[in-house]
A and B are shown apart, each in its own frame.
Chain A
Amino acid sequence: MSDRWERSVPVFNVPIWTKPFKALMAMGGLALGLTVYREIAGLGPASGMNDAYAWGIWKTFNVMTLTGLGSGAFAIGISAWLFKQHKLHTVMRVALLTSFLSYLSGLIMIGIDVGRPWNIYWLVTPWNWNPHSPLLEVMFCMPAYAMLPLLLENVPPVLEYFHRYKPGTQAFVEKCEKIMIRFYPFIVALAYILPAMHQSSLGALMLLGGNNVNPLWQTPFLPLLYVWAAAFLGVCCVAGTLLFTSLMWKRPYDMEVLVHLNKICAWLVGTWLLFRTLDLVISGKIGLAFRLDVFAGLFWIEMLFLGIALYMLVDSMKLRDARLMFHAHVLVGVGGLLYRFNPTTLAFQPKPGAFYFPSALEILTSVGFVALAIAGFSIAVKVFAILPAPNYTWFQMEAHENKIKALHRDGEKVVSLAAAATNFSD
Chain B
Amino acid sequence: MDLTRRQALQKFATGTAAAVATAGLTTISLPGSAHGEEVKEAPKKAVSMLYDATRCIGCKSCVAACSEANNLTPDTGLSGGLHQAPTDLNAFTKNIIKLYRPADGSQWSYVKQQCMHCVDPTCVAGCSFFALTKNPETGIVSWNGSKCMGCRYCEISCPYHVPKFQWQGMNPKIVKCEFCQERLAAGKNPACTSVCPVQAVVFGNREELLDEARRRIAESPDKYFENRIFGEQDGGGTQVLYLSHLPFEKLGLPNLGTESIPSKYMKWQRKLYSFLVVPTVLYATMVGVIRGSWKEHQHHMLEDQKQTGLRPQL
The answer to the question of A136 belonging to the interface, with a C-beta cut-off of 8 Å to chain B, is yes
**How many Å from the CB of A209 to the closest CB on chain B?**
6
Do A117 and B159 touch across chains, with their CB atoms under 8 A apart?
A: no
CA A6 – CA B311 in complex, angstroms?
Answer: 12
Option from A40, A117, A192 in Cβ contact (under 8 Å) with B286? A192
Do A86 and B297 touch across chains, with their CB atoms under 8 A apart?
A: yes
CA A205 – CA B128 in complex, angstroms?
Answer: 11
Residues of chain B in range 16-72 having any CB-CB distance to chain A below 8 Å: 17, 24, 27-32, 36-37
Q: Name which residue of chain A comes closest to B123, CB basis.
A: A208
The answer to the question of B192 belonging to the interface, with a C-beta cut-off of 8 Å to chain A, is no
Do B308 and A391 touch across chains, with their CB atoms under 8 A apart?
A: yes
Residues of chain A in range 387-406 having any CB-CB distance to chain B below 8 Å: 391, 394
Beyond A208-B122, A351-B161, whether A129 also contacts B313 by CB under 8 A is no
The answer to the question of A321 belonging to the interface, with a C-beta cut-off of 8 Å to chain B, is no
Question: Which segment of A43-51, A100-108, A293-301 sits at the interface?
Answer: A43-51
Q: Name which residue of chain B comes closest to A122, CB basis.
A: B129
Report chain B residues within 8 Å CB of A44: 167-168
Do B165 and A54 touch across chains, with their CB atoms under 8 A apart?
A: yes
Report chain B residues within 8 Å CB of A190: 283
Do B310 and A132 touch across chains, with their CB atoms under 8 A apart?
A: no
Report chain A residues within 8 Å CB of B157: 208-210, 212
CA A49 – CA B170 in complex, angstroms?
Answer: 16
CA A35 – CA B24 in complex, angstroms?
Answer: 36
The answer to the question of B279 belonging to the interface, with a C-beta cut-off of 8 Å to chain A, is yes
Option from A43, A119, A184, A201 in Cβ contact (under 8 Å) with B167? A43
Do A135 and B126 touch across chains, with their CB atoms under 8 A apart?
A: yes
Do A132 and B27 touch across chains, with their CB atoms under 8 A apart?
A: no
Count residues on chain B whose CB falls below 8 Å from chain A CBs: 80
The answer to the question of A327 belonging to the interface, with a C-beta cut-off of 8 Å to chain B, is no
Option from B126, B129, B149, B310 in Cβ contact (under 8 Å) with A129? B129
Do B304 and A223 touch across chains, with their CB atoms under 8 A apart?
A: no
The answer to the question of A204 belonging to the interface, with a C-beta cut-off of 8 Å to chain B, is yes
Report chain A residues within 8 Å CB of B122: 208, 210
**How many Å from the CB of B1 to the closest CB on chain A?**
14
Question: Which segment of A175-183, A236-244, A364-372 sits at the interface?
Answer: A175-183
Do B314 and A177 touch across chains, with their CB atoms under 8 A apart?
A: yes
**How many Å from the CB of B38 to the closest CB on chain A?**
9
Interface string of B160-176 (1 = CB under 8 A from A): 01001111111110000
The answer to the question of B9 belonging to the interface, with a C-beta cut-off of 8 Å to chain A, is yes
Report chain A residues within 8 Å CB of B306: none
Residues of chain A in range 1-37 having any CB-CB distance to chain B below 8 Å: 6-8
Do A133 and B161 touch across chains, with their CB atoms under 8 A apart?
A: no
CA A44 – CA B149 in complex, angstroms?
Answer: 16
Report chain A residues within 8 Å CB of B36: 130-133
**How many Å from the CB of B20 to the closest CB on chain A?**
10
Report chain A residues within 8 Å CB of B311: 160, 163
Q: Name which residue of chain A comes closest to B299, CB basis.
A: A86
The answer to the question of A270 belonging to the interface, with a C-beta cut-off of 8 Å to chain B, is no
Option from A42, A157, A351, A394 in Cβ contact (under 8 Å) with B170? A42
CA A156 – CA B264 in complex, angstroms?
Answer: 46
Beyond A51-B155, A117-B150, A128-B130, whether A220 also contacts B268 by CB under 8 A is yes
Do B286 and A160 touch across chains, with their CB atoms under 8 A apart?
A: no
Do A7 and B279 touch across chains, with their CB atoms under 8 A apart?
A: no
Beyond A42-B168, A351-B161, whether A185 also contacts B28 by CB under 8 A is no
The answer to the question of B293 belonging to the interface, with a C-beta cut-off of 8 Å to chain A, is yes
Do A186 and B125 touch across chains, with their CB atoms under 8 A apart?
A: no
Report chain B residues within 8 Å CB of A329: none
Q: Name which residue of chain B comes closest to A46, CB basis.
A: B167
Report chain B residues within 8 Å CB of A180: 314
Report chain B residues within 8 Å CB of A137: 273
The answer to the question of B139 belonging to the interface, with a C-beta cut-off of 8 Å to chain A, is no
Do A208 and B168 touch across chains, with their CB atoms under 8 A apart?
A: no
Beyond A127-B31, A193-B279, A207-B266, whether A42 also contacts B148 by CB under 8 A is no
Do A188 and B167 touch across chains, with their CB atoms under 8 A apart?
A: no
Report chain A residues within 8 Å CB of B30: 127
Q: Name which residue of chain A comes closest to B30, CB basis.
A: A127
Chain A to chain B contacts (Cβ below 8 Å), 17 pairs: A45-B168, A51-B89, A51-B90, A82-B289, A84-B296, A116-B171, A116-B172, A117-B149, A117-B150, A132-B32, A132-B273, A184-B314, A193-B283, A204-B269, A207-B269, A208-B125, A351-B161
Given A81-B290, A131-B273, 15 further pairs, Cβ under 8 A: A54-B156, A114-B149, A115-B151, A128-B129, A130-B125, A130-B127, A132-B125, A132-B270, A139-B128, A185-B287, A185-B291, A190-B283, A208-B125, A208-B266, A210-B265
